[in-house]
Amino acid sequence: MFSRVKKSIHVLLAFIITLPLMLAMPTMTEVSAASDAVINLSAEKQTIRGFGGMNHPAWIGDLTAAQRETAFGNDPNQLGFSIVRIYVDDNRNNWNREVATAKKAIEHGALVIASPWNPPSDMVETFNRNGDTNAKRLKHDKYAAYAQHLNDFVSYMKNNGVDLYAISVQNEPDYAHDWTWWTPQEMLRFMKENAGSINARIIAPESFSYLKNMSDPILNDPQALANMDILGAHTYGTPFNNFTYPLFKQKGAGKELWMTEVYYPNSDNNSADRWPEALDVAHHIHYNMVDAEFQAYIWWYIRRQYGPMKEDGNISKRGYAMAHYSKFVRPGYVRVDATKNPDTHVFTSAYKGDNKLVIVAVNRGTTAVNQNFVLQNGTASSVSRWITDSSNNLTAGTPLDASSGSFFAHLPAQSITTFVAELGSGSGDGGGTTYEAETNTTLANAALESIYSGYNGAGYVNFDASTDASIQWNSIYCAVAGTKNVKFRYALEGGTRNLDVYVNGTKVVSNTAFAATGSWATWGEKTIQVPMNTGTNTLKVVTTGTEGPNIDSIHVSAQ
């Protein structure tokens, strides 16, 4: 990002995509009754890493101290962003520009990721690309040097107090009119031969429009896939019906799926406060979460005349649309199944974590809707709500009663409403978060399987070696440090098998025993207590002489 050509293309694509929806909007003003929105608290989907945006001092100047608080704080009149994306300048003399905002984001608990637009100039050559003789690419004998360049950025940031969560190989390698082109084959080669030498999680390929031809080769190559931690994508102009990715579902076990850059629906000057145009931001996030099942949603510039924060530092209507997700759906929350479209113009998604249920309802129609929400496999009592429409910005509404297992809510015309309910006991997550064994894990001498029935998610993990086979959950989020309950859901046909348990690289439990459940399709539970830190933790289980049980998931909660 960013060019005038690209801007015009994306405006046209966004208009074409949204035109049928806009033409379908009713003009009535009466209130309509919708079908039930059913929330199934036990039907877990992806773990959410967060919501955020790009800080780019080299192009538009850094955020001020006050703007950093607005972006990453989560008090009133703040966005609650939990991810910041920063720029890997090809000139290392400019790397210091990225430090201040990244450090402040980390102080607020946010994750920091980084993306390069170009390698250093001595690593780049021009070539003839479809008649453009000034097109740029990485020299084919400089791949190792480029990997070291990215490693140097990781080290520089770490030495200056910023531990990067991940670094990208290249921003938009398939839309590089103003930066460096990569073919799918070149990206595959780098991922196979060089990405493994970089001391950080790797994001690839960051296609500008989630074009699968850039990422399919990585998913189909075991060596390249092993070196990719996050499949990153941009959704500029991507039709909603192209959001699903069956190949990632099939082969992406243990990898994360992030949407790492977009603006939507356009980048018109001073468009940030247009209503109901800003409502489309929430609608877009809805599809990114529900259909694409992305774990992160990252806007382009945090501060811009079309962004979530205007140039004067105030939150825009587009920003409030994002805040309906970012302030309430916190890192480590898990999306749960909800009726996607209970009314013609109503779109709902639901998330749980910290013993809370969060529901975001977007009403794009010009008619108010009385919506009934039904809770399954869980209970809640009082429900708080916040509303943004043409005249309100995250305005608190009156609490609602959900003690009967359901609640009715009035959704104003062209509005976003976020509901937050405190969950009762037995509400699907027991006050904690479930982490599947096949999602965002690193496996050693272990494999994802789906042979035996009764598992949740995409499958379970089977240990393939009696010693030093392991599963590591890479992103267990804890709001408060302390001793946590870790409940394993596992199956074991007979006998007893032992595992060592490590938290953040330190062994905390030796040879914890897993008793037989009776068959490989009979799932039991075992709970242990371990210490965890505030923020992101890792937990690893390792075989110690027996192969270990089949593990479906862990559930982490306060003691």
Q: Which of the residues are catalytic?
A: 172, 261
Give the C-alpha separation, 40 to 335, whole Å: 10
Q: If you ran DSSP here, which 8-state letter would residue 12 be given?
A: H
559 Cβ contact list (under 8 Å, min separation 6): 482, 483, 484, 485, 529
Q: Please, are residues 339 and 329 in contact by the beta-carbon 8 Å criterion?
A: no
The neighbour count for residue 312, using CB atoms within 10 Å, is 9
Give the C-alpha separation, 451 to 421, whole Å: 37
Rounded to the nearest 10°, the torsion over CA 154, 159, 164, 166 is 20
Please give the C-alpha separations between residue 512 and each of 98, 386, 495, 545, in angstroms, as whole numbers. 44, 45, 14, 12
Backbone angles phi and psi of 142, in degrees to 5: -115, 15
Q: 122-155 as b/e, with b when 16 or more CB fall inside 10 Å?
A: ebbeeeeeeeeeebbbbeeebbeebbebbeebbe
Give the C-alpha separation, 427 to 527, whole Å: 18
Segments in 25-64 forming alpha helices (H):
57-60
CB-based burial label for 377 (10 Å; 0-12, 13-18, 19+): middle
Q: How far is CA 394 from the centre of its chain?
A: 23
Beta strands 83-88; 111-116: pairing state: parallel
Give the C-alpha separation, 382 to 390, whole Å: 26
Query: What SS3 class is residue 448?
Result: strand
Query: For residue 476, which of 554, 409, 550 has the smallest C-alpha distance?
Result: 554
Tokens 């990485």 sit at which residue? Answer: 138
> Would you give the end-to-end CA distance of the chain in angstroms?
46
Give the C-alpha separation, 177 to 459, whole Å: 42
Query: What SS3 class is residue 193?
Result: helix
Token pair in block for residue 105: 């984001």
44 Cβ contact list (under 8 Å, min separation 6): 334, 335, 336, 428, 434, 436, 456, 457
Amino acid at 427: S
Q: How far is CA 215 from the centre of its chain?
A: 17
Give the C-alpha separation, 478 to 530, whole Å: 12
Token pair in block for residue 374: 């039904």
Amino acid at 233: A
Q: Please, are residues 301 and 87 in contact by the beta-carbon 8 Å criterion?
A: no
Query: What SS3 class is residue 367?
Result: coil
